[in-house]
Copies of this chain bind each other. A is one copy, B any other.
């Protein structure tokens, strides 16, 4: 099974993992959540090669994670890349990465940006919880049952 076959496996974890597990894709999403929307800006801030950038954007468009939205500048119509609802729903994935990074990869308090809740100013943290009792869960609290 080549890598690409995971993208069509009947598993709701392996398909997203294969999609976001391609080189550059997670970093591209980070940039998008930070507000970057235009081809030139992705290219400049990430220094990704233009052909790969084109490819990754197209994959995300095809998956309906991004959409192309027209806008006007200098009287000209151009397009920018924006998150769809499906794309915005990836926020917990990025926040889970960041929560992990804060705990395990921050040598000091260094960060290139701060995040806080608009309403109360609090911090932001990803977690896993039980849909019934709302307890916070770790891997040890969860039972895995194979489907066959």
Residues of A participating in the B interface, judged by any CB pair closer than 8 Å = 1-3, 6, 9-18, 20-27, 29-30, 33-35, 46-48, 83, 86, 88-106, 110-133, 135, 137-147
Contacts and interface: CB of A to CB of B under 8 A. Distances in A.
Nearest to A6: B27
Contact of A128 (B95, B111, B144): B95
A interface majority secondary structure: mixed
Contacts of A11: 101, 111-113
B111 A12 contact: yes
A141 B94 CA distance: 15
A25 to B, nearest CB: 6
A10 B132 contact: no
